[in-house]
Every structure is written in C-alpha cells, then in structure tokens.
Amino acid sequence: MAGINPAHVENVIKNNHRGVIHLHQIGILQLTQNLDDAVRGFKAGLAEAGLTANFHYLNADGAVSDLPQLAEKLANQTVELIFACSTPAAQAAIQLAGTIPVVFTPVFDPVGAKLTQSMDKPGGKATGVAGMVPAAAKVDFIRELLPSAQTIGILYHTGDSNALLEVSNFKQAASTVFTLIDLPVDQAEDLSALPDKLPANLDALFLPIGRVIEENFASVAYYAEAANLPIITSHAPNVPSGALGALVANHYQLGLTCSVKAAQILAGTQPETIPVGLVDNPEILLNAFVAANLGIELPLTLLAKAAEVFE
Amino acid sequence: MLLTPQSVELLAPVGTWDVLEAAIGAGADAVYLGGKRFNMRLHRTDTNFDDEKLARAVKYAHAHNVRLYVTVNNLISEQELPGMREYLKLLNQIQPDSLIIQDLATLQLARDMNITVPLHASVMMNTHNEHSIKALMDYGVTRIVANRELTLTQLTLLKQRTGIELEYFVHGDMCVAHSGQCYHSGIVFGQSSNRGRCLKPCRWPYQLVDTTTGQTVAANDRGPYKLAMKDMCMYSALPQLIQSGVCSFKIEGRMRTADFVSRIVKVYRRAIDRYIADPAGYTLDMADWQELSEYRTRDLSTCFALGNPGASSIGYTGEREPRFFSQAVKEASVAAAISLSPVTVTRTKSPNPANRPRPQLAVRVACPDSLTSALQNGATIAFIGGEAFKPNKPWTLTDLAAAVSEANNYQAKVIVTTPRITMEREIGEAEQFFNSLESVKPHGVMVSNSGMLRLAQQTINIPIQTDFSFNLFNHHTAAWLKANGASKATISPEATYEQIAELVKNSPLPLEMIVHGAIEAMVLDHCVPSAVLEGTATYPCHHLCSEKHYSLLDSAGERHDIAIDQYCRNHILFAKDLCLLPHLPALMSADINHYRIEGQHYTPKLVGLITALYRTELDKLAAGDNYTFDKTCMNRLTDASPRSLGIGAFRYRISR
C-alpha cells in the first residue's frame, strides 16, 4: 500500500465535518470474474480511505460484445465513477457520452488502447494502473530462474495487440541477453502443430500475455513437457497448470492502487492530471512439480521471494 | 399425483459467496457447491469454498430455508483416500443436505464412517437403469442425478420402477459424451474429466473423413465443431418436465457469475410457480423466454429430454463457444514413453518371482475367427459379446456355445460381456440373455455398470468381472465391487503406473489391466455421421455406417475412428492404440498378474500376432531369468496395426 495519500485524508475530514457519511455511487465494469481480485483490492482501498460507497457491479462474464451495453447501464444508474477491469471494459466505459471518470486496470497499453494520451498526463476522463510487468524485470527473472538458458522462444498470438506490444518490449529488453526465436501463432489451431515449429536448441519458452495462448495453454504445456522445455508465462493461472514460473502483477495490489486514484477523483481532482501507475512490486509464482519433472532445481533465492510455489 | 410447491426443487450452482447470496435471493430452493477438494470444477482457483466458508454457507442457506448440497464428485486415487476420510468427517460435522458423490468408494466410506448426510449420485456415476438405482439405494443413496442422455419418458419409467428422487440438468453447458465415461482429456493430457479437470476435446474442430481413404466426406460441411453440444434449456418444455416426475431441476454453471445465475433462477422460478399454481392455465412467458435467449452463451437445445436431438443439438460453427480449454495435440507415441523405474513391492503373495502363477492373458475379440486366433496364440481368457461394432454382428447364443466349447479345448475360459451403456432395451435383452446362459455355460460374465453387476449377481451363478467403465482408482472401490458380487475387476484406463502399483498392493480383488488395443475416448448416444451428413438423429437412420467407416480428423492430424455398435452408439477411439509391451517388466514387478488385450477392433490375424507377442514376453518374464526385451517385435507390431501405437496414461507420472 502506498503511503498516506492527501486525498484520503481530505476525504476522511470532509466526511467527518459533514457529520453524515456521504455514500458514493461507484460503478464496476468487469470483463470476467478472473479479475475480481482487483475489485476486492479496490473496495478494500476505498474502505481504508474512509469512503463509503454503493457499488454497482456488472460482469460481462467474458462476453466483450456485452460491455458497451453494461457500461450504458452503469451510466443510467448515475454512478460518479467507473472502475473498469480490462482493456475492453475501460474502452466501453470511456466511450460513454458524458463525463463519468474511469479508473482502469490491468490495462496493458493504455496509450495504444487510446484510453490516455500519455502515461504521465492522461489528458482525458480516464486514468488507472497499467498491468504489464516491465520486460526488463521479466528478463531478470528468467535469468535468475534459468541461469544457463541461452535461447528463448517467444510464443504469441499475432492477432493480439497486447501480445505484440509485450513481444516488442521483451525483445528490446532481452536481445542482448538471450538469443530470441519468434514463434508466432495466427490462430488457436496452429498450436496443434507446435512441435514442428520448435527449434531443437531452445532452452525455454516465454509466453507474453494474450488470451488465445493463455486459454489453450494445456496444449502448449503438453508439447513443452514432451520437449523437456520450461515455460515462463505471463498469465498467473498457467503456473499451476504446468508453467515453470511467472512474474506477474498482483491484481489485489492493482485494485488497491486504483482506489487511491479513485479517491483523488472523488475528492475533486480531474483524472486527466492523475498519472497512470505502473506495476511496482510484481510477484513470483513457481511450480515445483513441473521443476521436478524437468529436472530443474529451483533457486533458493527465488523460492524465498516467491508469493506462491505450486506442488 | 397433485402438484404442490414442494413437488419441484429449483437447484442453482454456486461457485462463490456472491453467487450464493444471489441464487438464494433469486428464489432457488436449493444450491450446490464444491469445497476446495474433490469436486468436478478444479480448474479455477478462485471458485469453490474452503472448509470454514462451507460451514458458513450451510448456515446461511439453512437460515434462508434453502437446502445446500456439496459436490464430492471426483474419483479418488489411493493416495487421496486419507484426505477423503478427513473431508467426509468435516462434511458430516457441518451437515449440508446432501453429498453429491461419484466414486463407488465413497458409498463404502460413508457406510463405514456412519456419515449421516444423505448421498446423491452425481451425473458422473452415469446412472441410467433401474438396477443401478437399486444398487445405489442399497447404500443409502436417496437421489440420482440422471444421465443427460435419458428422455423424460425414460425418467418417468425409472421413477415409477424405483421410487427414487430424480435430479436432471435443465439448463446450461452439456457434455456430448456419456458422463463419467469420457477418457479423452484424462488419457491425452493426464487431466481427467472424471476428476474435475476436463480440457474439453469435444470442443475441438474436426473434419469427418472416410476412414479408408482419409478424404473428407461432408460435402456441405456445417462447420468444424462436430461434437460441440449446444446449451441445455428446458424452459420451453417446462410442463412436460414437471409432469415427468423429475423432482429437482438443476442449473449447470458453478463458475458463473451472480448476475448470470440469478437471471436464470428468476426466470425458471416464475415459470415453475405459475405452472404449479395453475397448470391448465399455464402459457409460456415470451418475455422471459426472450431474456433467456438473449443472454444465452451457446445456442439452446432441449438435448435428449424430448428424444435424441441429432444435429439440432450441435453448434457446428463454434461461433458461440465462450472459450476453449485446449487444442488438439499429437497423442503420445510409444517412443515418448518415460522410463518406468520398477516400484519396490513388498511381496506377500509370491516371495519368489519364479514361483508366481503364470500371468493370465485375456483377449477381447469380435468374431469366432479372432477367438480361434487368440486361443491358438496363448490367450487364457477370451472376452466375447457385448457391443458388436459394425460390420461385425452380435454373437448369437449358438456362436457363444460354440466359443465356450472351443475354449474348453484349449483349457481357456470364455467370459461373455455385456454393453457399457444399458438403458431399457439393453437391460431387457440382458435379462433374457442371462437366463439363456445356462445352456451356453460360459466361464464368467463381465459387466460394465453397477446395474448390470446387480442384475448378474441376482440372476446367474458364475463368476462376475467388472470392466474398466467402473473407473476403478482405489482399493475401496474394489472392496465395494467385491461386496456386490465381483470376483475380478479392471483398472481404470486413466490410472498411471505409480497409481496402479499402489492400487494393486491394497486391492482385495484380483485386478486386470488393459495393456494393448484400441481404447475408447468417448461413447456417444449422438450419431456423428448421421448428424453431419444428413442432419438427422438416430431416427430416421439411413444406415450410413453399413457402407463406410468414418473418423474424426483433428487439427493435429490425428484420426479418431468412430466405431458404431448395434445400438447405434458412437464409440470414438483414440488416434493411437495403447501398447505397453515394453513396460511389462515394470508391470510384473508391481505384481500385476492379469493382462488384457482389447482386440475387438483388429483382424483375426493381428489378434494372433499381438496375443503371441504378449504371451511370449509374459512367459519369459515369469520364468524370471535375465529378461531382455526384443525391440524388433515393436516394429512388427507397428507395421501390422491399423493405427499407430501410443502409451496412453503412461505418459504421465500421476494422473490428475
């Protein structure tokens, strides 16, 4: 949790002065309950700041095309602010007519997704916390986890703009450290032929974010295991399902940081001036069962730092 | 019987506390949910209730006069038994209104532990005939979650014949294959659909091809998703459903959101209440129907409730699939075998390997020529009967009697088998068949479901073996089978070497293991070729299967042959046949003494070759001195096999 925020203090004082508790109307636009930890963090943060709110929670249950309609519904409930989880939810929220401020997370590329003009000065009605773990941190993590790895294959879906962004970031950060092999996938079924694509000298697979690869991870893990290849993923649920490890943002923490920005907005600050936050304390996830199968010894330093080690 | 508000229970799925409150608020009479252990929805770590939350949920539901059922529907491995005991103890303390169970071992454990919570048989028990229901009732089961393949008419009949409470899936996601009998995910990925980890191979794209030519046969292909069942929705047939005697209307979706569950519960609640208040004056509420349709995930179908739906129940285009869980992969070949370090076995029965009895080799065959071939090459047991896959014909009583006398010449045994799925037609035939066995005089019978086990035990007096379909994973299940008349059992094809070794050590019954042959991934009441090529169901059937053999080709290029039996069921085979020949030393060291070849999809010549190879290797091993495996025989096997060879679940150290 960041230190005491002046806006929090201001809110608490305001509420106390009034002698009544002001009940805020806050909309939450959720893409999938997979991201509900962010909602929990967000609510906890607001409560901690002394704010009371009536939350209007709408969840599209994965159906991206339902989001505009759900955003409209929130607008009709005259919410003061929308907390939008995921890029499509944030896009649906800022496309509403009117001036309802939007706080988003874990959006990977707020500028590319046209939610903000820049990270420092959003310039519109939205701000939030970007969920992408910096590529340099991932490179360091891989080096620590697999010290002898030299050649890394990057497996990504070409139709996913977030994946493309992360691929480019990762290449920039890793090209001097590893030999990188591009493994693009145009459609999910291409994963069926993955072994034909894997060069023999590969030491590990790196999976950037991206829904198609994340969903069909079982098939990637299947082939990787057969080729004795460790997988470093960017999607936390892939770790218990067979990746060796991941360095990921903690969604609860993202929600918590978003609550600070929301409190500022409720206290009167314009979102256009509130910088977009970055993931500052990514957490380490490891899978000891996979490590044993691959004959890899997990470094003690990483085990000590890991947020979770799956057996 | 006159309807009252208590005649029907609306049962809602719950994955999180939010959903619990929402479902109850929306008017559910009962809810079902899973703990963090032993249930059918284990993919998602953010759903399901920990122990403390379970206890709170029971209190919360009861305070709102709502019943709460806990899903314990999972197969239990030997290693998990202590955990299951602990869990049952906890559940008995917090007293939900029922435990929805799958593994037969749970029946035995619940009896031994004096569990007072009522037991419901999960849909994963694949209960579809009255004898199964009676077998379960003997163990205190008060309700069964009926097979999704049963029609309302069949349900009414079961209700009348047994008096059991029937629960039926009325809304949501469906399996295309018989529940609890699908081994696709378990064997390919080591993540079993019978253990809550299905990766949904039925949602892969497939081409329908002619098995012989490999060419696509669907001229006007409706789309690649040939096994993708639409979502069940009984809203439009609610009067028929209520009148059928089904008492609990189950909504699927323990991973769904509060909004989603509450919307469906409200719509059904209103309809049920209106119907019960005035059945004759009831009409469909178009606005509610519209709402269900508008918020649907997949397209909707009444599935099997009003009769076999054929092509109308499949979403061929895949457009409305909400998400995928995997893509097709090349099945593990024999070359991919991990080396199995033989387990250390504390030998109690046969201290000296040289003194052990000669390993039994059983072969399942499809026709008299294959029987001869198996017997000539060293089979000690032959399985005949049961499903006859086209173009084979079922065995007549005369054929069977001739088979028995032929086996007697070889001092071998003939065991007659019965079909895996036995609904009223098959049960009726089986009753007559069992009566005729006195003249056939087989050496035993093999049964495939708990109803047939009970029927066999009550009507015939020869040894009974249970088949792989009982999903035998632990020794308590073996004990249950023994207590109910079995003298030998077959190990689940999903079990891995480590799991088998542990199980064999503790089993009170001799256990047989399938080591070679074509293995069935799925069994379907849906006829794939009829649906794809003619858009029909089983009726009217134009007997497409009499002209050609069909296969499903997946995106990894693997061909899954469709074997069609005399009841028109489609048995979808794995692309690779199981072959554990190189692993016999490890299996012998784990004290396995009963081996089986599934030879019913092979020619007589191939049956002979495989039988001879296994016989030779087993005898060499039993002799005990300096065994070496002759690797050249693998080439002969591979060349002669209609499909390439694989190692099934043995790819994995542990099946999850």
Instruction: Give how far B128 is from chain A: nearest CA, Å.
Output: 32
Which residue of chain B is at minimal alpha-carbon distance from A241? B43
Give bridge partners of residue B571 from the DSSP assignment. B523, B563
From chain A, the residues in CB contact with B191 under 8 A are 218
**What pLDDT score does B238 carry?**
97
Q: What per-residue confidence (pLDDT) applies to B649? A: 92
A113, A221: one domain: no
Give the pLDDT band (50/70/90) at residue B343.
low
Residue of B nearest to A217 (CA): B326
Q: Is B189 on the interface with A (CB under 8 A)?
A: yes
CATH number at residue A244: 3.40.50.2300
Q: Give me the phi and psi of B49, to 5 degrees please.
A: -110, 135
Question: Is residue A278 in a domain?
Answer: no
Q: How many angstroms separate the CA atoms of B48 and B39, rounded?
A: 9
Closest residue on chain A to B15 (Cα) = A33
Q: Determine which of A11-15, B281-285, B446-450, B487-491 has the lowest per-residue pLDDT on average.
A: A11-15
Asked whether the beta carbons of residue A195 and residue B653 sit closer than 8 angstroms, the reply is no
Residue B497 CA: distances (Å) to CA of A74, B190, B337, B347, B556: 55, 12, 12, 18, 27
A158 and A27 co-located in one domain: no
A127 and A139, same domain (yes or no): no
Residues A47 and A18 both lie in one domain? yes
Shared-domain flag, residues A194 and A302: yes
Is the domain of A202 the same as that of A256? no
Same structural domain, A298 and A184: yes
At B622-631, the pLDDT tens digits run 987 788 888 8
Per CB-CB distance under 8 Å, the chain B contacts of A240 are: 45
Q: What gap in Å lies between CA B577 and CA B644, rounded to an integer? A: 6
Domain count, chain A: 2
Name which of B115, B145, B135 is nearest B30 in CA terms: B145
Residue B44 has pLDDT above 70, yes or no: no
Q: In chain B, what are the domain boundaries?
A: 9-172+231-297, 359-516+579-651
Q: Write the secondary structure of B316-336 as one string of H (helix), E (strand) and C (coil).
A: CCCCCCCCCCCCCCCCCEHHH
CB A49 within 8 A of CB A11: yes
For residue A14, pLDDT over 90 is answered with: no
Contacts of residue B264, defined as CB under 8 A and 6 or more positions apart, other chains included, come to B12, B171, B251, B292
Q: Which of residues 11-70 of A touch B (CB under 8 A)?
A: 33-34, 36-37, 58-59, 61-63
A176, A258: one domain: no
Return the percentage of chain B with pLDDT > 70, whole number.
Answer: 95
* Mean predicted confidence (pLDDT) in B417-424: 97
Q: Is B629 at the interface with chain A, CB within 8 A?
A: no
With CA atoms as reference, the chain A residue closest to B338 would be: A226
Domain B359-516+579-651 has CATH 3.30.2350.10: no
Distance from CA of A191 to the nearest CA of B (A): 7
- A37 neighbourhood in chain B, CB within 8 Å: 46
Do A303 and A178 fall within a single domain? yes
Residue A218 at interface with chain B, using a CB cutoff of 8 Å: yes
**Side-chain half-sphere CA neighbours of B79 within 13 A:** 10
Q: Tell whether A174 and A298 lie within a shared domain.
A: yes
Rounded to the nearest angstrom, the minimum Cα separation between B176 and chain A is 20
Q: What is the ipTM of this complex?
A: 0.91
Q: From the list B324, B328, B336, which residue is nearest A215 (CB)?
A: B324
pLDDT given for residue B535 in this prediction: 85
**A207 within a domain of the structure (yes/no):** yes
Chain B: residue whose CA lies nearest to A218: B326
Res B45 pLDDT > 90: no
Average pLDDT score over residue span B380-387? 98
A218/B199 CB distance under 8 A = yes
Are B330 and A195 in contact (CB < 8 Å)?
Answer: yes
Interface of A with B in 246-305 (CB under 8 A): 293
CATH of B9-172+231-297, one of 3.40.50.800, 1.20.1440.230, 1.10.3720.10, 3.20.20.70: 3.20.20.70
Q: What's the pTM?
A: 0.92
d(CA A274, CA A267): 12
Q: Which residues of B touch A191 (CB under 8 A)?
A: 327
pLDDT interval class at A106 (50, 70, 90) = very high
Query: Within a domain: residue A148?
Result: yes
Statement to judge: residues A163 and A205 lie in one domain? yes
Cβ-based contacts of A34 with chain B (< 8 Å)? 44, 46
Query: According to the 3-state scheme, what is the secondary structure of B179-216?
Result: CCCCCHHHHHHCCCHHHCCCCCHHHCCEEEEECCCCCE
Instruction: Determine the Cα–Cα distance for residues B238 and B248; give it in Å rounded to an integer.
Output: 12
Give yes or no for residue A12 having a pLDDT over 70. Answer: no
DSSP state letters, B284-295: --HHHHHHHHHT
For residue A230, give its domain range.
135-248+283-310
Say if B191 is an interface residue toward chain A (CB within 8 Å). Answer: yes
Q: Is the residue at A1 inside a domain?
A: no
Residue A209 shares a structural domain with residue A235? yes
**Rounded Cα distance, B552 and B175, in Å:** 17
Q: Is residue A158, in this structure, part of any structural domain at all? A: yes
B294 in contact with chain A, both atoms CB, cutoff 8 A: no
C-alpha B453/C-alpha B462 separation (Å) is 12
Identify which of B306, B288, B352 has the alpha carbon closest to the alpha carbon of residue B622: B352
